[in-house]
Each structure stands twice: as C-alpha cells, then as structure tokens.
C-alpha cells in the first residue's frame, strides 16, 4: 500500500516556529500543532486547506502512477506477489557530502558548550544528574535506544534522512537533558570530556545543510548519545510502513524514495528516485538500474491545476 499522502516540500519544518512538525500533524499545513502556531493554522481559510489537500492527493496520484512500474519490477525480481510485501513511498534526500563549514561548526560548538554548561550548572561535576520525572531509571529512553530490525529501516535507508535536515538548524536537537543522559551513563565524565566526546563524533563530511552528525551512512552518533527526538521520531510514511509491516509480519519491504519535485523533472530516468528492498532476514538491495519513466503533460495536468488553485487563493490573501 502507498501512503495516502505525499511528502512535504519543505519537510518537517513549521513555517511559524521553524521547528519540526509534530508526529500527529496532518500533511498539507504550513503551521504545526504547537499551541503558539495552532492559532495561525486555524486562521488559514478552510477553503485553502481543502485546496491543499486536493493538491496533495493529485501529487500522490501522479507519483503512484509514475513509480508503479518500479515497484512491479522489484516485486517481479523478488518473485513476490504484491500481497506478500510491504511497499510504500518515502521522501528522498540527495544532497552532497561536504566538510562542515567553519561558521556552522563554530555555531554548533557554541550550542554544545551551552547545553553542557547548563547540565553541569544544574548538577555539578561529581554528582549524578537525575533522570526525568516521567522516565525514572531511563527505562523508556533505553527502550527507544534499542536498534530496530533492518527490515523496518528500509524506509530510512531509501530516504537517507529527510527528518535529519532540520537538525542542521537545531544543533542536532542536543539539549541539557541529552547531556544528563550521557552523564548518567558516564558518571565520572567532566564537562570537558563530554564536549570532547561530542566533537569527536562529528563526521569529516556531512550532508550539506543538514544535521552536523548526518554522515554518509546515517547518523554518526550512537543512539544512546542522541537527543530523545532522534530516537523516537518517525515520519508519517515510516509509521504507515511500520503499521503495514505489523499487519504482514514475516514479509520484506520495497520502498521508493522520490523527490517531491519529481513533477518538475518529466524526462525519463530523472535522477530523483531511489528504490530499495529489504528482505525480512535483513538482506538489502538498492535497485540502481531501475529508471523512472517519463511524465507527460497530460498526466501532470490535474496536479498543476490543483497547484494553481492553491496559488490563486494564496495570492488573494495577500491583497
């Protein structure tokens, strides 16, 4: 089953608070459901929201049609009927790996020193930070840190970390609470040890503009050293795939990562797709030989019409 809604164009960032969208937020809105932003969302005209939903539905239709041959090809290759596989769409990240620019590294280091300082101000060196009241002994946190079966990671492997992009502007979501957790596991760690540890974990190259720890093969921080949100957040697409997998235990996954903007690349073999299959036993295959078919103007017309309708109403609002 494909998910019912397509990826956000600017994934996960609320246009008001610039924080990642909440898991429960519906797609198609500009503002998240935090109380400070909810009012702005509610002020949006209902008809605009309906038009946005229509635009997303048209995008999904055209995307499903375009990616269907790729899914069929992989299922045929695996000799697996569609009813015996979990299939879906996910976002697509295709940014280059670059050395972290000096200004971004300096900004991150300033943030790191601040959150470490906050942690040690609350509980000085030699005393152990207390776990949060709602998670005494970090039992929930430890459960969230557990590695997941590879088959469930098919989505993220294909996507390559769309939800890590906001980590670039939020300093890997590190907070004093993350540092408390680190110190709880390393009670003798001094402030300078913690800073050295987190700086040493930075990759030589990271995904351009993304989180400082977003390396070539994913996150370079161990799960237990990440912010809680990094271990708990799953985008809507991944959650849909997980739900489908729970309904079909024992089956592998076939995932198509595709750029939201594929509609602007109508040519055959447009470089904005990645197809990955992961068998239940964890065997992973990236099907690099599969080509995205061309997209005709006729196929695109309903999406363009829906896009135009949203644009028209937005322009009217500005007057």
Residues between 76 and 115 that touch ligand SF4 (CB under 6 A) = 90-91
Count of other CB atoms within 10 angstroms of residue 74: 22
The minimum distance between CB 224 and ligand SF4, in angstroms, equals 12
Q: Using the rule CB under 6 A, is 256 a contact of ligand SF4?
A: no
What are 215's strand-pairing partners?
A: 218
Q: Among 86, 235, 270, 307, which residue interacts with ligand SF4 (rule: CB under 6 A)?
A: 235
- Strand 284-286 to strand 214-215: parallel, antiparallel, or no bridges (unpaired)? unpaired
- Strand 214-215 to strand 218-219: parallel, antiparallel, or no bridges (unpaired)? antiparallel
Q: Using the rule CB under 6 A, is 6 a contact of ligand SF4?
A: no
Q: With respect to ligand SF4, which residue has the nearer C-beta, 123 or 150?
A: 150
Q: Contact at 8 Å (CB) between 130 and 251? A: no
Q: With respect to ligand SF4, which residue has the nearer C-beta, 28 or 293?
A: 28
Q: Using the rule CB under 6 A, is 162 a contact of ligand SF4?
A: yes
The label of the residue with tokens 């739900």 reads 243
Q: With respect to ligand SF4, which residue has the nearer C-beta, 183 or 226?
A: 226
Q: Using the rule CB under 6 A, is 179 a contact of ligand SF4?
A: no
The minimum distance between CB 296 and ligand SF4, in angstroms, equals 29
Q: Using the rule CB under 6 A, is 211 a contact of ligand SF4?
A: yes
Which region among 16-24, 70-78, 126-134, 157-165 touches ligand SF4 (by CB under 6 A)? 157-165
Residues between 290 and 319 that touch ligand SF4 (CB under 6 A) = none
Reading the block at residue 145, the tokens are: 């840190």
Q: Among 51, 54, 151, 159, which residue interacts with ligand SF4 (rule: CB under 6 A)?
A: 159
Q: Among 48, 155, 179, 259, which residue interacts with ligand SF4 (rule: CB under 6 A)?
A: 155
What is the C-alpha to C-alpha distance for residues 266 and 89, in angstroms, rounded to an integer? Answer: 18
Reading the block at residue 136, the tokens are: 């005494």
Which region among 32-40, 95-103, 110-118, 155-163 touches ligand SF4 (by CB under 6 A)? 155-163
Q: Contact at 8 Å (CB) between 163 and 235? A: yes
What is the C-alpha to C-alpha distance for residues 77 and 69, in angstroms, rounded to an integer? Answer: 12
Q: Where are the alpha helices (DSSP H) in 164-208?
A: 176-185, 191-200
The minimum distance between CB 233 and ligand SF4, in angstroms, equals 7
Q: Among 226, 245, 260, 262, which residue interacts with ligand SF4 (rule: CB under 6 A)?
A: 226
Q: With respect to ligand SF4, which residue has the nearer C-beta, 148 or 268?
A: 148
Q: Contact at 8 Å (CB) between 194 and 116? A: yes
Q: Using the rule CB under 6 A, is 274 a contact of ligand SF4?
A: no
Reduced to 3 states, what is the DSSP secondary structure of residue 32? coil
Q: Using the rule CB under 6 A, is 234 a contact of ligand SF4?
A: yes
The label of the residue with tokens 């363009």 reads 304
Q: Contact at 8 Å (CB) between 87 and 71? A: yes
Q: Is 190 left (phi over 0), alpha (psi -120 to 50) or beta?
A: beta
Of the candidates 1, 9, 2, the one whose C-alpha atom is nearest the C-alpha of residue 303 is: 9
The minimum distance between CB 142 and ligand SF4, in angstroms, equals 17
Q: Which residues bind ligand SF4 (CB under 6 A)?
A: 90-91, 155-156, 159, 161-164, 167, 172-173, 211, 213-214, 219, 221, 226, 230, 234-235, 237-238
């Amino acid at each position: 089953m494909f998910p019912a809604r397509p990826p956000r164009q600017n994934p996960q960032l609320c246009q008001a608070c610039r924080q990642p969208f909440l898991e429960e937020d519906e797609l198609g809105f500009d503002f998240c459901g935090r109380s400070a932003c909810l009012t702005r969302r509610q002020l949006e005209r209902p008809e605009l929201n309906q038009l946005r939903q229509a635009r997303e539905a048209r995008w999904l239709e055209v995307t499903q049609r375009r990616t269907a041959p790729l899914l069929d090809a992989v299922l045929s290759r695996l000799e697996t009927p569609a009813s015996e596989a979990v299939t879906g769409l996910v976002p697509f990240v295709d940014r280059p790996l670059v050395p972290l620019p000096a200004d971004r590294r300096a900004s991150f280091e300033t943030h790191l020193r601040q959150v470490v300082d906050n942690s040690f101000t609350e509980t000085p060196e030699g005393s152990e930070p207390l776990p949060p009241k709602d998670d005494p002994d970090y039992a929930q946190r430890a459960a969230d840190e557990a590695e997941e079966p590879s088959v469930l990671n098919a989505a993220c492997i294909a996507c390559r970390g769309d939800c890590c992009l906001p980590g670039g502007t939020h300093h890997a979501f590190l907070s004093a609470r993350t540092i408390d957790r680190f110190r709880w596991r390393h009670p003798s760690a001094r402030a300078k040890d913690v800073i050295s540890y987190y700086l040493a974990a930075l990759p030589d190259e990271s995904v351009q503009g993304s989180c400082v720890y977003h390396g070539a093969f994913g996150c370079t921080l161990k799960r237990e050293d990440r912010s809680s949100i990094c271990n708990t957040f799953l985008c809507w697409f991944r959650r849909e795939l997980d739900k489908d997998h729970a309904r079909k235990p024992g089956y592998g996954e076939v995932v198509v990562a595709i750029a939201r903007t594929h509609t602007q690349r109508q040519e055959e073999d447009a470089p904005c797709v990645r197809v990955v299959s992961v068998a239940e036993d964890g065997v992973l295959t990236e099907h690099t030989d599969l080509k995205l078919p061309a997209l005709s103007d006729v196929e695109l017309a309903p999406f363009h019409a829906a896009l135009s309708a949203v644009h028209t109403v937005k322009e009217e609002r500005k007057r």
